Chain A
Amino acid sequence: MRTPLSWLRDFAPFQTDLATMAATLDELGLVVEGIERVGEGLGDVSVARVTEIGAIEGADRIRRVVVDAGDGAVEVVCGAFNFGEGDLVPLVRAGAVLPGGVEIARRTMRGVVSDGMLCSGRELGLTHDGEGLLILTDIDGAVPGQPLTDALGIEPDVIFDITVEGNRPDAWCMAGIARDLAAALHVPFSMPEPGAGSGVAGPAVETLASAVVEAPELCPRLTVRVATNVTVGPSPRWLARRLLLAGMRPINNVVDASNYVMLELGQPTHPYDLDRLGGAGLRIRRARRGELLTTLDGVRRTLGVPGTGLGETGEDCVICDADDTVVGVAGIMGGESSEISPATRRVLLEAAYFSPMAIARTGKRLRLRTEASARFERGCDPWGIDRATDRFFALLSSSSPSLSVAAGTLDVRGEVPRPVVVPVAVGAVNALLGTALSSEQVTALLEPLGFACTPAGETGESDLLTVAVPTNRPDIRPAPEGVADVAEEVARTFGYSRIDRHQPTWPEPGGLSDRQRDRRLVRQVLFGLGASEAWTPSFVADEDHRRIGLGGPAVEVTNPLVTAERFLRRAQLPGLLRALAYNADRRQGAISLFEIGTVFSMPDDSSATATERAGAGGARGVRLPVERELLSAVFGDESSDARHAVAAWHVLRETLGLVGVRAAQGEGPAGAGLHPSRSAQLVEGSAATPLGTLGEVDPSVVASFGLGERRVGWLEVDLGRLLDRSVVSRRSELSRPVSRYPSSDIDLALVVRDEVPADRVAEELARAGGDLLESVTLFDVFRGASVPEGSRSLAFRLRFGALDRTLTDGEVGELRRACVDAVLQAVGATLR
């Protein structure tokens, strides 16, 4: 909110320096976003009348202009074209200074001497218009030679640009900001009387207009006042100037007075042309389903229709004339039909208190937010209406002197919020804030804000205060919540920065969970394997899923930013391939990437994600999507393929000490988008719980992401399962003794048919080797001439040993034979 200092001074005699004022406003939570000085440095600018305009030979962008400066003619060269002879314009003579300190020098351009400069509004810091000169012709009483500041009635001023928080409708006006600031700076604050003119008594209002409220829940209070003998015209210069400084465009004296009152007191009002209101009265009701209204912005709006969003009941409060024709969306925007026009002679002023939630609801559904609705939806002061209407008529009478204000007010009341009284124990305030304030201190902090504090205890020892909350503070709730609200007011005026800081301690230790520690470890493993961590989009297109052959539904976003990308990802593979392709396009494609992130699938009956906890909006029984945390890795380095993925899995498994997880190759499809004969599912052995996938991305999928013909290794695990110790067991923590006797190695080259997986052979060897077998390691694979077609030679190294002795050659020979026999029997493997 643009807040002129001069306006604040109507309420309190602020003399503090600007920096302190700004810092104090900040401390109050009225954040100063900017400070602007206006009307300064205009001392050298005067009004001049254009008397002659001539072309300059050889120049078409500049002209020679002669002006009457009051004390004689001045010739200047000017590049603007938006004026003619006889116009009044601002002049700065050579040797003088523009606002901002630029000195104007005498110059000669194309042989013409320029003795000064004619200025635009922007050059003078008065308007944002820099296109042409600031035209002063229509300014009442402006004459050549007059200082510009006199002509415009400008006094140097300061504008604070203040952001007011959503819970402080009271501070969203000049009076409110002045009240807070005065309290913090210990300056007396007073609300000036509305001024002369408000009390002019005409005929009784009842004889001129009527007011009916049919929806008192939506409009708990409606007041209607009427003035006759209105002369619609421009506002007084000081008033128009203040509106401009506050960022509003002056329109006419009636509309300006209404806007002025809103800016000053925070109460929106709406003036109607009484003679254009059917039946000379107002009626407030719920909109009928599908009712239409063209609002002042020229948009035709459909009312009374439920929206698609949560809580959008379609209950709209509308203002009708007495003949039941809709003339406005209550508290948000009026219609075109009853606007104030130059011909208006009788004004009906509506000032009401609307239910904040009703205004918010309608505003949200119509996507319509105005200065008025923003204030109503936060909550105006239902008891501040009378002051606002008094002020309106006082302002209007100054520009419409024969104005006659009808006696009395039509005041229709439903359940108007009553003043809130909060019993506040000072001890509770101190306990919440960590302060040691006395009852007197608390009272002294609250009273300047309009709170009335009275000691509630019979004896002086009680620390209980009865705090009467002013009605312009809808943010202060009744007890018990209200105690916290009052405490915030105490803290605010005391100063947050003056509250001592204290570092709390507690006996419970902090720390990461097992899952969180393991997740960090998983990352470190991937880094060690040369993979970098990516962050790919959660929102994907249908095509991303289709391209990897992932059918079935995905969770859909109702209001996506990009229409195509309206699904929550079910897999991280598309995102990672895209990231690889992005880098490949920049000739840096030989990389490995991984991501640890969430994938989503449709709610699942078996999952325990259903929530029974419901909001008033009807979330009861809603099921949330199933979320899984996946580690997904693509190995795209030169010569990377499924082998790298296998090695990565090996390191990961060993690092975490996972037991009993195996790659179930050939036991069903590995996963969407994967190479069918170079990939496998990872499963927990005993329960066959799927834990992830391992292998290589399908080459056609790789190609479809623009990566050409290359192999991309793949590893993915569901961390929720893999790291859950109740699903996958870990290696025992207990130590095993190490033998002090030398062990014996035996190498076996076995010819095994291709269909038999190598780990099947290793399992048999391990079983046959028994307790004395320390390890089985595959160290060579050979296919070629000396091995029959359809088979390969697998070379295993078997290490035997015992804790208590060196094995004899005989024992080792026996074990070797047992192993060879076992694999021959089980899988038909023969010694090469």
Chain B
Amino acid sequence: MTEAAGAETLDAAALESAGAERLRAAQSTEQLAEAEAAVLGKRSPLALARAALGALEHEERKRRGGQLNDVRTRLSLLAEERRAELAGLERRRDLEADRLDLSEVVLASVTAPVERGHMHLVTRTRDALEDVFVGMGFSVAEGPEAETDWYNFEALNIPPAHPARTMYDSFYLQLGEPETVVLRTHTSPVQIRLMESAVAEGSLPIHAVMPGRCFRRDTPDARHLPVFHQIEGLVVDRGITFADLAGTIETFTTAYFGPDIHSRLRPAYFPFTEPSAEYEITCTICRGSGCRTCSSTGWIELGGCGMVDPAVFTAVGIDAASWSGFAFGFGIDRCAQMRHEIADMRALIENDIRFLEQF
């Protein structure tokens, strides 16, 4: 290295360290802007050094120009870093300046809105359904929304690859072995949990309804949401019959929908009940005289029900010789849609206040 080249390098290095020091010294974004102008601006030593290159020979100009460009790039990066650092500091400072001691809030000075808030229609419907069943002697049970395959399917007499699984298009979670953890497709797993714990605690009989959120991989449309709510019921007691099931369904129907709405059962298939039935009620639109909603039949489908299948009792360890039971289930959102004549179910998830405040 020649002496001259060494001096030049020193020169570039000195420019860089002086610039860096100046930038780091900035304590606010304003100061940083000033420092940037001084270090990287048109009249900065760096700019002047570049301007002075014009007098040099081609090769030399290229070499030193490259050095200075590198310095410039590094200093610009440093300025960016410092800017982010200062912005963070200033934000923290602003937030700190905005401090509020939550305990010095004078409650009497807080003005609450005069308007009352509104209950979500799904909650309102769920509460109303719960109230009817509580009046009929049911308790209310709840359970997790993510379930194992056992609780959601297998204990309900739906083994893996069973064709009935296609009735419940599931969302699977990336946990454990593939497809072993699902978002529950119905609230029936709560029934399994309830029966298992009743067996463990020796606390049979069971008379409970289980409302809750369920998930099926359906594309949302006017009548379906992939996330929806269901309420199911389970009675396990001595001497429970299909006639008890039909009676319970009828009592509930008239209690919830009104005295002129009745129920009927017709054969259906569910893996977890036997005999199984589809549960229909008098069309709430035409009151049974026939209309478009009920395809002129006077009846609309509400849900499914049946006597608990002996295979389910076996899965949870209940002796089917001593106990019998029935189960039923239907959609809470669907009930709300029917009762309040909601054309498009998606209104329930939009959270538009103009919709919410109607209820």
**Residues of A with Cβ closer than 8 Å to B?**
26-29, 31, 165-168, 308-312, 356-357, 360-361, 364, 377-378, 431-435, 480-481, 483-485, 487-488, 491-492, 496-497, 499-506, 508-513, 516, 520, 523, 526-539, 555-561, 568, 579, 582-583, 586, 588, 591-594, 597-598, 600, 603, 609, 611, 613-619, 621-625, 627, 637, 639, 641-644, 646-647, 650, 663, 665, 675-680, 694-696, 698-700, 754, 757-760, 762, 778-781, 792, 794
Are A557 and B171 in contact (CB-based, < 8 A)?
A: yes
Chain B residue nearest in CB terms to A760: B103
Chain A contacts of B271 at CB under 8 A?
167
25 interchain pairs (CB within 8 A)?
A: A309-B160, A309-B179, A433-B242, A434-B241, A434-B242, A481-B309, A484-B310, A488-B275, A501-B250, A504-B240, A523-B123, A532-B117, A555-B175, A557-B171, A588-B354, A597-B213, A615-B160, A619-B180, A619-B181, A622-B148, A625-B146, A663-B103, A760-B103, A781-B106, A794-B104
Contacts of A537 in B (CB 8 A): 227, 349
Question: If A360-B161, A364-B161, A523-B123 touch, does A558 touch B267 (CB 8 Å cutoff)?
Answer: no
B105 in the interface (beta carbon within 8 A): yes
How far does the Cβ of A282 sit from chain B's closest Cβ, in whole Å?
25
B328 close to chain A: CB less than 8 A: no
- CA–CA, A821 to B167, complex, Å? 74
Closest B residue to A490 by CB, please name it: B275
CB pair B174–A757 under 8 Å, yes or no, is: no
Q: Are A510 and B309 in contact (CB under 8 A)?
A: no
* CB-contact partner of B352 in A165, A481, A583, A622, under 8 A: A583
Using CB atoms, name the residue of chain B closest to A377: B163
Q: Is residue B75 contacting chain A, with contact meaning CB distance below 8 A?
A: no
Q: Contacts A309-B179, A779-B106 given; indicate if A31 touches B266 (C-beta within 8 A).
A: yes
CB distance from B167 to the nearest CB of A (A): 7
Q: In whole angstroms, how far apart are the Cα atoms of A538 and B269 in the complex? A: 30
Task: Choose one: A497, A647, A675, A759; the contact of B98 (CB below 8 Å).
Answer: A675
Interface of chain B residues 130 through 173 with chain A (CB within 8 A): 130, 133-140, 142, 144-151, 153-155, 159-167, 171-173
Q: Are A511 and B139 in contact (CB under 8 A)?
A: yes
Are B267 and A491 in contact, with the CB atoms below 8 A?
Answer: yes
**Once the chains bind, are A527 and B178 in contact (CB under 8 Å)?**
no
Residues of B within 8 A of A623 (CB): 175-176
CA distance A530 to B357 in the complex (A): 11
A interface footprint on B85-114 (CB within 8 Å = 1, 0 otherwise): 000000110011011111111111111111
Contacts of A646 in B (CB 8 A): 102, 105, 107, 110
Q: B122 within 8 Å of A by Cβ?
A: yes
A529: chain B residues at CB < 8 Å are 112-113, 117
| Contact A433-B150, Cβ < 8 Å, known A312-B161, A527-B117, A665-B101 | no
Given contacts A29-B267, A582-B351, A616-B160, contact A499 B101 (CB under 8 A): no
Q: Contact at B309–A484, with CB atoms within 8 Å?
A: yes
Q: Contacts A501-B247, A583-B352, A665-B102 given: A310-B174 contact, CB under 8 Å?
A: no
Interface residues on B, range: 35 or more
Of B122, B241, B265, which is in contact with the most chain A CB atoms at under 10 Å from its CB? B241
Bound Cα distance from A625 to B180, whole angstroms:
12
Q: Which of B136, B137, B237 has the most CB of A within 10 A?
A: B137
Whether the Cβ atoms of B102 and A508 lie closer than 8 Å is no
Judged by a CB distance under 8 angstroms, whether B243 is at the interface is yes
B173 interface neighbour in A433, A557, A754, Cβ under 8 Å: A557
**Contact at B351–A588, with CB atoms within 8 Å?**
no
Closest CB in chain B relative to A776 CB, distance in Å:
12
B243→A499 contact, CB < 8 A = yes
- For the complex formed, measure the closest distance between the CB of A792 and the CB atoms of chain B, giving whole angstroms: 7
Q: Is the CB of A530 within 8 A of B115?
A: yes
User: Taking the complex as formed, is B246 at the interface, i.e. its CB lies under 8 A from any CB of chain A?
Assistant: yes
A503 to chain B: which residues have CB within 8 Å? 244, 247-248, 250-251
- A71 CA / B43 CA spacing, docked (Å): 108
Task: List A contacts of B196 (CB < 8 A).
Answer: 613
| Complex Cα spacing A168 to B163, Å | 12
A460 to chain B, nearest CB (A): 25
The residue in chain A whose Cβ has the minimal distance to the Cβ of B243 is A434
13 additional contacts (CB under 8 A) given A432-B242, A616-B159? A27-B266, A29-B266, A360-B161, A529-B113, A561-B219, A591-B353, A600-B145, A616-B154, A642-B105, A646-B110, A678-B95, A760-B103, A778-B106
Q: Which of chain B's residues have a CB closer than 8 A to the CB of A533?
A: 117-120, 123, 356
Question: Residue of A at shortest CB range from B301?
Answer: A31
Asked whether B205 lies within 8 Å of A506 as measured between CB atoms, the reply is: yes
How far is A433 from B111 in the complex, measured between Cα atoms in Å?
A: 62
Q: Does B188 touch A at the CB level, under 8 Å?
A: no
Q: Cα distance A520–B126 when bound, in Å?
A: 11
Of the candidates B146, B147, B353, the one whose C-beta lies within 8 Å of that of A532 is: B353
Contact B119 A512 (CB under 8 A): no
Residues of chain A lying within 8 A (CB to CB) of residue B164: 166
**Bound Cα distance from A600 to B118, whole angstroms:** 26
Asked whether B277 is an interface residue with its Cβ less than 8 Å from the other chain, the reply is yes
With both beta carbons as reference points, the residue of chain B lying nearest to A609 in the complex is identified as B144
Given the contacts A166-B164, A488-B274, A678-B99, A624 and B267 also touching, CB distance less than 8 Å: no
Residues B160 and A481 in contact, CB atoms below 8 Å apart: no
A501 / chain B contacts, CB cutoff of 8 Å: 243, 246-247, 250
Query: Is B172 touching A558 in the complex (CB atoms < 8 A)?
Result: yes
Is B78 on the interface with A (CB-CB < 8 A)? no
Residue B207, interface by CB 8 Å: yes
- Chain B nearest CB, measured from A660 CB (Å): 15
Taking CB atoms, residues of chain A closer than 8 Å to B161 are 310-312, 357, 360-361, 364
Q: In whole Å, how far is A587's beta carbon from the nearest beta carbon of chain B? A: 11
Question: How many angstroms between the C-alpha atoms of A26 and B95 in the bound complex?
Answer: 68
Task: Decide if B264 is an interface residue (CB 8 Å cutoff).
Answer: yes
Q: Is residue B324 within 8 Å, beta carbon to beta carbon, of the partner chain?
A: yes
CA separation between A663 and B309, bound complex, in Å?
52
Q: Residues of B contacting A310 with CB < 8 Å?
A: 149, 160-161, 177-180
Identify A647's interface contact among B107, B136, B352, CB under 8 A.
B107
Contact B171 A535 (CB under 8 A): no
Known: A513-B139, A677-B100. A561 touches B351 (CB 8 A): no
- Do the beta carbons of A538 and B98 come within 8 Å of each other? no
A510 x B241 contact (CB < 8 A): no
Q: With both chains docked as a complex, state the minimum distance between the C-beta of A347 and any C-beta of chain B, in angstroms.
A: 31
Q: Given A481-B274, A491-B275, answer yes or no on A678-B98 (Cβ-Cβ < 8 Å).
A: yes
Q: Which of A29, A435, A676 is in CB contact (< 8 Å) with B243?
A: A435
B159 contact set on A, CB distance < 8 A: 311, 615-617
Q: Is A500 a contact of B103 with CB atoms below 8 Å?
A: no
> How close is A26's CB to chain B, nearest CB, in angstroms?
6
B100 pairs with A592, CB closer than 8 A: no
A2 to chain B, nearest CB (A): 17
The listed residue (B115, B145, B181, B243) touching A502 by CB distance below 8 A is B243
Name the distance in Å between B47's Cβ and chain A's nearest Cβ. 36
**Contact flag A663-B145 (CB < 8 Å), given A166-B269, A510-B133, A559-B172:** no
Which 3 pairs, one residue from A and one from B, show the smallest C-beta to C-beta distance? A434-B243, A29-B267, A311-B160
